[in-house]
Each structure stands twice: as structure tokens, then as C-alpha cells.
Structure 1
Amino acid sequence: MSANTTEGVQRGRMRVRGYDEPEFEFQMLRGLGAINYGGGTPGELLLAADAVRACMAAQPEESRDPAGCWVQAHAALAQRVEKAAWACLEGNHPVSARDHFFRASMYYRSAEYFCDPYTPEHRKWGLSSRACFIAGAQRLDPPVQVVHIPYENADIPAYFFTPPGADSIPRKTVIVHTGFDGSAEELYFECGRAALERGYNVLAIDGPGQTGMTRLHPQLKFRPDWEVPIRAVVDWLAEQAGVDMSRLGLYGISLGGYFALRAACFEPRIRALALNSPILDLKAYQLGFFPPEMVNDPPEVRLEWLPDIPRSELPDDLRALLKIVFFRFGVESVHEWLNALDHFQTGDHIGRLAIPCLSMVGEAEGGEPLAQARQFCDAAGGEVTERVFMLEEGAGGHCQLENLPLSSAVLYDWMDEVFER
């Protein structure tokens, strides 16, 4: 045997490490969850995480910009993957190009998430996410239908997916939308592809105030009467030949648990409602993100004051949350926002719900979501199936992003059973 001339054998140099910052940790899990359906790869996401940590370590602690590091790392990753997608197209490799475009779309969305919503870069990364997603989804079988649903003086951006082999035969259909910071593009990986695999048509939408809508119509903000945009959406679906209106479901995710619940109370054409999780009182839910002292005695914090408030008084994560809150609700102060939230209530309307409903919530989401889910189960006028996801299932977190296959199995198995009655 020859003498050793190598340096040994390794399995690799990449190490799995998370973040000390809870919001960064959640957003990393969010990206890792999308891997199940083609929205990322472990290697690329871990590479971005290393880049974020390296960027932060290179900055003086007193002027460290964690959000800026996150945006820089994920935007750079998105651009590299998008470049690879275009190279695949030039080489006539459409499947590889599609997969690259999908991942690039999700990485641009990650960059958009922590980017200041009042800057041009925020819209730039958002539109890049949309463009990459469309480039990928046009290479599905069958290709996606990019939809602009008439709504007041604008339109609701949406994607209409049909399963392979679909024709004009009416099929079961689900409308899906998220809540505070998700996008219709992300919904494909979160729950859309799983629905297609089960034979559903899928209409993924972004309503007023939501991410995809504000990219195109930034003047439109969240509204409490979500039945108005949903009515326009259902009107559009009713005109599509391949939609069985007797098997029409609505699925609301995160803050979409309020929006979908409110809409279903007034839209009789919805035949099955799934909420992940149910939100009856959006004000109580959103205040759960803030320290108790701020909830009990909310200070007057205005948008123009945010850059000058020291970190000792307003941590970076809370500062970023307030900024995106102001942007999406169309307000300029904490007091304006709290006054606006008073209108985001389902009130007694929930008793009108006579359709089958599914309540989904994770045991680790906190006391407020669990309490509101319980209240929903007690107050809804129709049959409610309750599902609490447990930590021991690897699914106890917000919207089960750490275990999307389990979440989708629960959701669509329930919806199948409702529509087969």
C-alpha cells in the first residue's frame, strides 16, 4: 500500500446552525419548510444563513444591521439561482429552469420580507419574486394561468392552477390566501402543489394590503370587510368552466385566519372553510406579539420617529414589525393602528357559519391563538373539526411550516371527506 498522501476523508464542511434571533430562526424554518415542494434546497438556505452571520460579525455591534444582512444574503442567493435558471433556458433545459426559477422566487421573497417597505428595494425584490415564479409556473403541466380579477378600481392578482389532465369537467376547487406577510407565490409551495396532487383546482390570491397586492397597488391596504374582495374572487371562479361551485373551499393561513373567517360569514358560495388558525379578534391576536407593558399602556410611536428611537427603547425586531404594520394598514402611528384594529372583528357574524369548518392551530403558537381557536369551535354555527398540531409531531409551530406535508394531509383529507358527502 502506498504511503498516505491525502488529507483524509470528510462528509462535507457545511454545518447546520440556526440563529439566536427568534424571528430569523422562524424565517429560516419557513424557507426550509418550502423545500418539501420545491421552494428551496437545504444547501442554499444554509449558505445564506452563513452569509447573514458573516455579515453581522463584520459590523460593529453598535451599528449592526441584522435585517440588512438578511436582505443582502438572500437577494444575492436569489440572483445567483435566477442566473442559473436563465442559463438552463438557453441550453434548452426547461425542467431545470423551472426548478431554479421557483427557488429564486422564494429567495427573493425572503429578501423582500426584511426589507424596509418604504424603500424602492422592497418592491424590487417583491416584483423579482413574482417574475421568477411566473417564469417557473409557466413551465408546469399545465401552465399556470396568471389572473387579474377585477376589484373596485384595481385588480386582485392571482394564480389559477389546474391539475395535470384537467379539462372542462368541473373539479373541486380551493381558494387559498395568506395573511400579514406571505404571498400567493409562496402559497404554491405551502399548500398549492399538495392540492394539485389531490386533484384540486387552486386559486391563490393576494387581497388588498397583502404582499402581492401591495407590489402592484401599494395604495390598497388591509380592510376588515374581507367579504368584499372574496366576493369578486368567487364571481370570477363562477365563470370558469372547470370549477365545480358545489365543491368550493376557502383556506386562510396566518392572519388569513381572520380574513377567510370574516369572508365566509357573508359569502354563501363557500362550501367548506379551513382556518390556520381561526382569528375572531385581530387586535388581541396582533397585540400578542408585543411586550405586556406596551399592550397595557401603548406609547405613541409615529413612523417618522422610528429612525431616532434608540435600540435600548425599541429593539430592532419590534421596530421592523411596526414599520411593516404601518405600511400594510395604511397608518402612521401606533394609536392609529390600534384604532383601525377595532374594526377587525368577526363579532356575532360567526354564528351565521353553517358550513363544515376545520380549525388548525399549533400547540406552540401561544395562548392567544389557542384561545381564539377554542372560541371559534364553540361559537361557529355549523360543524367544526378541531386539529391541534403537537410538538411531538414536528408540527407545533405557526402554520406547521416545519411540517407542511402533515398539514396538507390533514387539510385536504378533511376537505375530500366534506366534498364526498
Structure 2
Amino acid sequence: MATHTVFSKGFFRDNGMDYQARAVLGQAVHGGSDAGEVLATFDRITDKDSWRTAWSATADRVTLHADALRGQGDRLGAQSAYLRAANYWACVVESLSELDDEGAILRAFHAHRAAWDQFVECSAGAHVRVGVPYESTELPGFLLRPDASGTPRPTLVITNGSDGAVSGLWSYAAAGALRRGWNAFVYDGPGQQSMLFDRHTAFRPDWEAVLKPVLDALTARADVDAARLTGYGISQGGYWLPRALAFEHRLVAAVVDPGVVDVSTSWTEPLSKSMRGQLERGDQAAFNRDMKLATMLPSLRRTLAFRSRPYQSEADWFSLYAEIADYRLTRELADRITTPVLITDPEGEQFWPGQSKQLAAMLGDRAYRVDFSAEEGANLHCEPLGRAVTEERMFAWLDRQLATRS
């Protein structure tokens, strides 16, 4: 491979590793990674095992560096290094999630969250923890503010995807909000990160039950301007946020990156025609039999174990696929959405192709769809290497939406 074709040809032959490589490299836009550290780590990777080993070594080294800077009284340097360490540990967590080693996953996750907590602690009071009362527990949340003045500000409420780390949201949207004098709120919802690994909660399709208590907690705060709330949903958050907007109307505007109408298609499209027919007919025995045969392939078994972990159905494959079919935005729900929504539509979207256009069509004049291309370096799911371009377009639109409500 010629060195100048790496963007189009890929960093790694494995599609999952290649996408994660792009994602962590793209986080450098706001200091979520360092390009040299990332590329040096790539040099030590040949397969998934070495991916985990290499990222563990990098994360360890950067964490120790952050600790040393903190010990020397260099708060800003330590904060920068802790953020990078959190994202490097997240690379380890995601890879380990394919394996059946809960102890290793928890050790890596707790190292990731410890680094993130130190990033928050090093903010001199600008970033604060905000617990969100939720059913019988509390969702861990973080209000990231430009400073500790307590000034009421516009606030971007960020809903994560299925497996993303909270630290990754810094470069995806939070830092852009703070640069503009806004707050950003990030949180773990049911089935996400700490709520999955530490509290063993599961995803739910009715995300309005999550967004409502989040907004209740934020609007009760003096440092949040309740009249200038906006939302951002990334990856599978591109389904959860529109679903919640059918019931929750306190957001002035929202961005989904990308638009997701039916989560289940990313699960059913790879199936054979006969297996899709088994699902449609409700032939549970035949579907489970064929899935048992298919998952004899180790790579598929690992991928499905990783992707199915946050869902409730553990009885059999048929029950899992039936549950995921509920993660769908119907026409009736879409008709209830009154919030204007910007929808990203990246070229080469690999998980939910065509669904940004579907969502835009369902919302009509409430939607503003924006194309992102490979030519501008902003293709693929969530534009992993085009975050500056994405940020510029989404915040320009959000600013316009807020201006119309002033």
C-alpha cells in the first residue's frame, strides 16, 4: 500500500479495528488523543490481541505521565493527559468486550473511568458531577462548563451511542460547545458504560424515560439556561434522541449523527434471506438452530457477544432479535416530534445506510439533512476523521435555531 492512500485504503484490514483507529485518531481535534501517540500505537498492532496489548501500554504510560504532572502542580497538563488516557483505555474496553473475561473488562473500564474522573477534577471546578435520579438508582452525569462562575448558559445535552465512552464525547461535541460559551452535559444511560459494567442495567427503546429525568435535573440548576437547551445524539443515539423527542419538547433544537429509524437493520441485514424469513414467521427453533451454526465462527461469535451485551434478552438468539426489533421510530412517533432536527448523512455510512434520508423524509420541514463526503475527509459512520467539519456545521445551525427563539 502506498503511504498516501491510507485514508481510502484503511489503517487495518479488519473493518472494526480500522473504524476504531479512525475514531481515536479523530479525537485529536480537541485533545482527546495525540496523533503521534496514536500512530506510534498503531505501529505495534498486528491483530486484535496486539490491539489490546498496545493500547493498554499506551494508556498506562499516559496515565502515569498525567499522575506525574498532577504531582508537580501542573493541573492543565495533567488534565490534558488524563483525557487522552481515558480515551486510550476506552480502546481497551471496547476490544475486551468481545471476550468473556468480566474481570479484565472491569479492570480496564475502571482505569478508563478513573482517568476521566481525574480530567473532571483537574478542571478547577468548571466541570461538575451531576447525578440524575432514575427509577431506583442514579445516572452518572457530568456538566462540563467553560468556567466555574455558575453563569446560566445554553446547554448541549449529549446522548451517547451503544458502546461509546463518555470521554469520547469531549471531542465529538462537548469541547465545541464549551468553545462557544455553552455548557455540555454528558451521561451514562441504561445499558451504557458504567450503567452496564457496574450496575448491569440494559438498554431500553423508550428513551423519553431517560431524557425526561436528565432535563429535569438540568433545568433545576442555576447554571443552566432552561430556555436554551439543545440536544445531540451520536451513533445509536441517532435513534434514542428522536424517539425521546416524540414525547419531550423542552429542547430548542437537536442534532442526530446520523439519523436512525430502525436499529434492527444493522442486525438483520447480514442474515441470510432464509433466516430473515424465520424471524418474520416467528420460527424460533429454526432461527436458533441456524444461529448456533453461524456462531461457530469465532469472529462472529465475539462480535455478537459484544453487541448483545447491553440488551435484556439473554434466553436465546430469537428473543434477542425480537427485542431489537422494538428499537424503531414509527411514523406515528415521528409525527409527534416538533423539535427541529439536523441530521448528518455521511457518505459510506456502514451501520444504517439510507436511514438519515428516511428520517428526514419522515420529519419533513422539521428536518435539515447535511451531507458529509469522503472528499472532505468526513465520510463513514459519525464522520470519525471529520469532526471539525461536523462541529462547524452543527453549531452554526444550532446557533441559528437559538437565535430564532431569543
Offset at residue 47 of structure 1 (A): 2.4
Residues 1:300 and 2:288 aligned together: yes
Using the TM superposition, give the Cα deviation of residue 106 of structure 1 relative to its aligned residue in structure 2, in angstroms. 0.6
Q: Per the alignment, do residues 410 and 166 of structure 1 end up closer, same or farther by CA in structure 2, a change over 3 Å counting?
A: farther
Larger radius of gyration: 1
CA 1:383 to 1:117, structure 2 compared with 1: closer, same or farther past 3 Å? farther
**Equivalent-residue separation in structure 1 for 2:377 and 2:399 (angstroms):** 24
Give, in angstroms, the shift of residue 67 of structure 1.
3.0
Q: Is structure 2 residue 175 aligned with structure 1 residue 187?
A: no
Match of 2:313 among 331, 340, 348: 331
Equivalent residue in structure 1 for 2:363, among 380, 387, 390 = 380
Aligned residue identity for 1:300 = N
Which residue of 40, 49, 60 corresponds with 1:68? Answer: 49
CA distance in 2, matches of 1:309, 1:224: 26
Q: Pick from 370, 378, 392: which aligns with 1:395? A: 378
TM-superposition CA deviations, 1:178-216 (whole Å, max 9, x none):
211102221012211111001111101111011232133
Decide which moves more: 140-149 or 223-232. Answer: 140-149
- The change in CA–CA distance for 1:21 and 1:415 in structure 2 (over 3 A counts) is same
Number of the residue aligned with 2:15: 22
Residues 294, 67 of structure 1: alpha-carbon distance in 2 compared, 3 angstrom cutoff: farther
SS of aligned partner of 1:399: coil
Determine whether 1:152 maps to 2:135. Answer: yes
Corresponding residue number in structure 2 for 1:80: 61
Q: Deviating runs (4+, > 6 A) in structure 1?
A: none
How far the C-alpha of 1:165 sits from its partner, in A, is 6.7
Partner SS, residue 32 of structure 2: coil
RMSD of aligned alpha carbons: 2.4
**Residue in structure 2 matched with residue 7 of structure 1 by the alignment:** none
**What TM-score results when the alignment is normalised by the length of structure 2?**
0.88
User: Within the alignment, does 1:365 sit opposite 2:349 as a pair?
Assistant: yes
Tell me, in whole angstroms, the C-alpha distance in 1 between the residues paired with 2:234 and 2:92. 21
Q: Counterpart of 1:175 in 2: which secondary structure? A: strand
When the two structures are superposed, what TM-score results if normalisation uses the length of structure 1? 0.85
2:45 counterpart SS class: helix
Specify the alignment match of 1:33 in structure 2: 26
Give the C-alpha shift of residue 334 in structure 1.
2.2
Contact between 1:258 and 1:278, CA under 8 Å: does it hold in 2?
yes
Q: Distance in 2 between matches of 1:232 and 1:278?
A: 23
Which sits farther off after the overlay, 133-142 or 259-268? 133-142
- The CA deviation string for residues 212-265 of structure 1, in whole angstroms up to 9 with x for no partner, is 3213312x1000111001111011011011222221111110011011111111
1:345 to 324, 328, 333: 328
Aligned equivalents of 1:216, 1:204: Cα separation in 2 = 18
Compared CA separation, residues 350 and 166, structure 1 to 2 (3 A): farther
Which of 384, 388, 393 is the aligned partner of 1:405? Answer: 388
2:92 is matched with: 111
Paired with 2:274 and 2:306, the residues of 1 have a C-alpha distance of 21
Answering whether residue 254 of structure 2 is matched by residue 273 of structure 1, we say yes
1:320 to partner: Cα distance: 2.2
Query: Are the aligned partners of 2:260 and 2:356 in contact in 1 as well (CA < 8 Å)?
Result: yes
Q: Deviations over 1:339-375 (max 9, x none)?
A: 1012112211111112211111211114x73422112
Q: Quick one: which of 139, 151, 156 aligns to 1:174? A: 156
Secondary structure of residue in 2 paired with 1:182: coil
- CA deviation after TM superposition for structure 1 residue 399, in Å: 0.4
- CA spacing shift, 1:289–1:179, aligned 2, 3 Å: farther
Q: 1:302 to 1:40 in 2, by over 3 A?
A: farther
User: Alpha-carbon deviation of 1:294?
Assistant: 5.6
Give CA deviations for 1:28-57 in whole Å, capped at 9, x if unaligned: 11110001111111222222222222xxxx
Deviation at 1:385, TM superposition (A): 0.8
152-161 vs 326-335, greater mean Cα deviation: 326-335
Distance in 2, Cα, partners of 1:98 & 1:393: 31
Deviations 1:380-417 (A, max 9, x none): 26521110111111001110111111111111111000
Cα–Cα, structure 1 residues 198 and 117, in superposed 2: closer, same or farther, change >3 Å?
A: farther
